[in-house]
Amino acid sequence: MNPWQEVLDRIEEGDEEDLAAFLDGLSDLGRRAVAVQLPGHLAEELRGGFQARREIEGLAPGFRLAGAACFTGAQQVAAWLNRRELRWVRDPERDAERLVFLLRRRPVEWRRDLAVRLAERLRPPAGGRWRRGQGVPGWDVAAALMSQTGLEPPDDDAFVVGWVWRLVLRRHADGRRLDGDPLLAALLPRLFQAQGVAGPLAVDESRGVGRSVLGELVVLAGEGRVPRGTLIDGCAGRFLAGGPAEEIAPFVRLWRMLRPLAEEIPVLEFVRLLPSASLVLAELALEELQRAESAGLLDEELFAEAVGALAYRPEKKLLQSVVRWLARTPAPRGGGGVPALAILFDVDTPALRERAVRLAVKLAPHAGDAGREAVREAAARLPAGLRERVAAGYGAIASAEPEQPVAGVLRAPELPALAPPFASPAELVAELRALGWSEEPQRCERVLAGIVELTHRDRDGMVAALRPWWEESRPQADDPNVYVFDRHVHDRGVHTLLARCALAVVAPQESRRLSAAVAESYAYHACGDWPAQRLLRRRLEEVIALLEGGGTLAGLLATPTAATGHVDAASLVGRMELLRDAEPLAADFEQALLRLPRDVDPELLVRADKLPSQAGRVLAAWLRDGGWPDPSVDCQVRRQERTGYGLRSGSYRLLVKVVPPAGLPAWLAELWGSEARSTYLSDRSDAVWWPLIMPSHREIVAGWLVRCMPWLSASNDFRMAALAALAQGEGPVGAATAVAVAGGLAHRWDAQRAAAAEAALTLAARGQFPAAEVGWAVVELVRHEFVTLKRITVALDDLAAAGAHAEVWRALAVALPLLLPGPGERPRAGLGELLGVAVRAAVLAGAKGEIFGLAEMAARKGSSLVLHEARRLYEAITP
């Protein structure tokens, strides 16, 4: 019998029960034989790349059993069980039972040592939502060993988080109750101190199956089986420790479920929490302090401190709570809150400010000296009407000089310099191996250029540099899943095509076989590609075919010479001269023409006219004509009657139509004018290539970004990164660019909004911001509910503060007449804040003029934010 082969066969069969029984009966000699073979076998398997790693992860329970049973040292076993590819198992509890069973004959001290080592290596779950929902890997084994050996559980955060995850997962798996848990008494106090327990508790609440873990704790406290004081004191201690709102929220829920008596409320601690607590905790503290006040447990000094702390909070709902609290407080006691009212004189909500003024005047007879002084100082900044009302209770008040706004300075972001060409095949291969999953166009262009140029200069050197990688990742002959340097051959991404370029160098015969095998699949999927992607992939496939056939080129024509993706015209002419009368690769030449800048040196035409090839004559004609005429790009909102994925009948869609001018080459007319079979991208990263493919035709690229589904502001792809790159290019910008910018500024994710803001600031700094079109786009997107007015308002305010105030004002001068309500209409939600942005932008820009409908809006009676900001804007822009 070969013990190693027997163990390996059982691991690969996936029968852990049979494997555990076999390992349990294995002799010491057999275990040593397995221990010798096991690490090397795993290392060899993992060289097979991503797919091999996935297979190892699926067989992890068996590998874990073999290592635990056969390795001799506790440190060695702990390291084995914590290997990244072996940490996650489908059933952690059953895995722990099998491991503890196999280890039962080891000395107690050895098992305790292993338990401690495993506990010390515990880490909170990371990765995607599914991974995080599986608990803390390794916790079950550590906990089972501690229970078996009588070891006290540690009180570190990771162990406590693992315990909470196990409680939650058990409850949802088989309904096990909390009161039977052996670790409850030891770890309950740590529940309120460990960072990370909010994750499993939030998952527990969200699943809504029966009573939650927190709910069970409340029941057990009511039955006297868990000390109620431990829960109340634990919550209070967690509140005082502070932290992010999501870490505090579960304990706020627990406190509300416990409903402590007024006498149990830690009044002083809750008052001291108010300045810095998260909103959810501040709301709880406010409610509990008001309960304590009703029971006579909040003295006047703490009352004044509480309302003063709340008045400095940024949340409008808390500021409103301050005013309501003071309004219902008896006058003598309420006088202590007058300084808090003075703070509210500076809020930007007119109705709240007016309520604070009325209340301050009412409480004037009860205000102390400090309160009166605070009110007088703050009232100096109020509008004249409100200032006069305050003066009636506090004496004459002189107005303060208003602060003059300071305009930001516009600066276009600087693009990074291009990386130098590769100096050696070894450097190129290292970069090719380092390519991840996200495509970086300039990085890919550098690799492609390096493969072509270095192969031309020293093909044998390239083969020698590539061969070790090819040999170690080479698939088995009978492997149905064909991989090229760890990438599946049917993956049509740029990184895979670059790997195929390398394969064409090191193994041209194998490359030709693969090319023939995937040709039909590639052709089928190419029909669904966007036109730009077809050009990109055609260019790469040309290089693959060239290298497979043993050919080489001194260099590619379309390799960018600038970070924007442009190819300098002089460089292109020089590259063409090196070809002499040979014709270039067709797609590479087409790409090179698309990358030419709009302004070129006319003297280059003399050199271009001497080029003998047909492509040379095309280039000369391009230079003579000053490039191609721009197409028309029309962007409109249309009602969508048909239904489909992501659509509802009667909804609206943005339709972009690109109409190429007559006389263009057929390939270019198809690139600009044809539409993809699907409005969805073949790959999330496709769009990031478009600005580099057409750096001189921004409006066309913007139209493609808008045309994609899902809608721009809800997507999680790379279109906003493409928009930021697009702004650095050349060519007209119009309605499509405006819609892309406006949609990006209203994106739901911060990173995408930041990329859109970068694009807007770049255009503004270059004097190319399409303000009128952006104003139109804001109106259309808000009206048809593509974006929320609130989100785009914040973004426009940030742009104005960053120095684009003139551009923001010109955009809003177009948008506001269409967004202001007519007679009898209610203002749109968020309009007041947008008018406030318009005021700030107009003042910074020194704008004067007339906005249709603004005078009528400003003349309406009322104290709403909309009317207040309308009056301010009217005053600011009226000559």
Res. 126: pLDDT tops 70: no
Burial 614-628, CB ≥16 within 10 A → b, else e? ebbebbbebbeeebb
* Residues 775, 812 contacting (CB under 8 angstroms): yes
Coil, strand or helix at 416:
coil
CB 415 within 8 A of CB 565: no
Taking the C-alpha atoms of residue 541 and residue 105, their distance in angstroms, rounded to an integer, is: 61
Q: Could you read off the pLDDT of 561-601 as tens digits, one per residue? A: 999 999 999 999 999 999 988 999 999 999 999 999 999 99
**What kind and span of H or E run contains 487?**
strand 487-488
pLDDT of residue 62: 92
What backbone phi and psi angles, to 5 degrees, belong to 398?
-80, 145
Residue 635 CB partners (closer than 8 Å, separation 6+): 654, 655, 656, 657, 703, 706, 734, 735, 736, 738, 739
- Helical axes 459-473 vs 494-506, angle rounded to 10°: 110
Record the tokens describing residue 817, joined without a space.
Answer: 């007449």
For 820, the 3-state DSSP assignment is: coil
**Residue 432 pLDDT > 80:** yes
Which residue, among 717, 762, 765, has the nearest Cα to 741 in the 3D structure? 762
End-to-end Cα, the chain, rounded Å: 100
C-beta atoms surrounding 126 within 10 Å: 8
Distances from the Cα of 537 to the Cα of 446, 496, 511, 701, 748, angstroms: 16, 11, 16, 18, 32
For residue 834, give the nearest of 762, 779, 879, 784 by alpha carbon. 779
Beta carbons within 10 angstroms of residue 491's beta carbon? 15
Q: Which two tokens stand for residue 838?
A: 């318009």
Reading phi first (left if > 0) and then psi (alpha if -120 to 50, else beta), residue 481 is in beta
Under 8 Å CB-to-CB from 322, ≥6 apart: which residues? Answer: 307, 310, 311, 337, 340, 344
Pairing of strands 487-488, 632-640: unpaired
Q: Which of 169-183, 227-241, 782-796 has the lowest mean pLDDT?
A: 169-183
pLDDT at 642 exceeding the cut of 60: no
Long-range contacts of 461-468 (CB under 8 A, 24+ apart): 461/424, 461/425, 462/425, 462/428, 462/505, 462/506, 463/505, 463/506, 464/425, 465/424, 465/425, 465/426, 465/428, 465/429, 466/425, 466/429, 466/502, 466/505, 466/506, 467/506
Higher pLDDT, 743 or 713: 743
Say whether pLDDT at 309 is over 60.
yes
Percent of the chain with pLDDT over 70: 93
Alpha-carbon span 692 to 725, nearest angstrom = 8
- Mean per-residue pLDDT of the chain: 89
Instruction: Compute the average pLDDT of residues 699-708.
Output: 92
pLDDT reported for residue 647? 40
Instruction: Pinpoint the alpha helices (H) of 750-788.
Output: 750-765, 771-783
CA dist list (Å): 413 to 171, 727, 755, 765, 799:
53, 10, 11, 9, 14
Q: Give 836 or 486, the one with higher predicted confidence.
A: 836
Between vectors from CA 70 to CA 65 and to CA 75, what angle results, nearest 5°? 90
Q: Which amino acid is at 19?
A: L
Rounded to 5 degrees, φ, ψ at 644 are 175, -175
User: Strands, DSSP E only, in 105-201?
Assistant: none
> What whole-number distance in Å separates Cα of residue 868 and Cα of residue 879?
19
Q: Which residue carries 């929320």 as its tokens? A: 788
Other C-beta atoms closer than 10 Å to the C-beta of 392 total: 10
Q: What is the mean pLDDT of residues 120-139?
A: 72
Q: Which two tokens stand for residue 753?
A: 């909004």
Only one residue has tokens 């010798």, namely 36
* Interstrand relation of 487-488 and 651-659 (parallel, antiparallel or unpaired): unpaired
The pTM score is 0.74
Helix (H) or strand (E) run with residue 652 in it: strand 651-659
Q: Cα Rg for the chain, rounded, in angstroms?
A: 35
CA 730 to each of CA 565, 727, 858: distance values in angstroms, whole numbers, following the listed order = 11, 8, 42
pLDDT reading at 284 higher than 90: yes
Q: Is the pLDDT of residue 489 over 80?
A: no
Ranking 95-99, 170-174, 354-358, 702-706 by mean pLDDT, the lowest is: 170-174
CA 419 to chain centre: 27
- Decide: helix, strand or coil at residue 680: strand
- pLDDT beyond 90 at 810: yes
Let me know: does 732 contact 701? Beta carbons within 8 Å.
no
Among 632, 631, 546, 534, CA closest to 590: 534
Please identify which residue in the block is written with the tokens 């702990």: 78
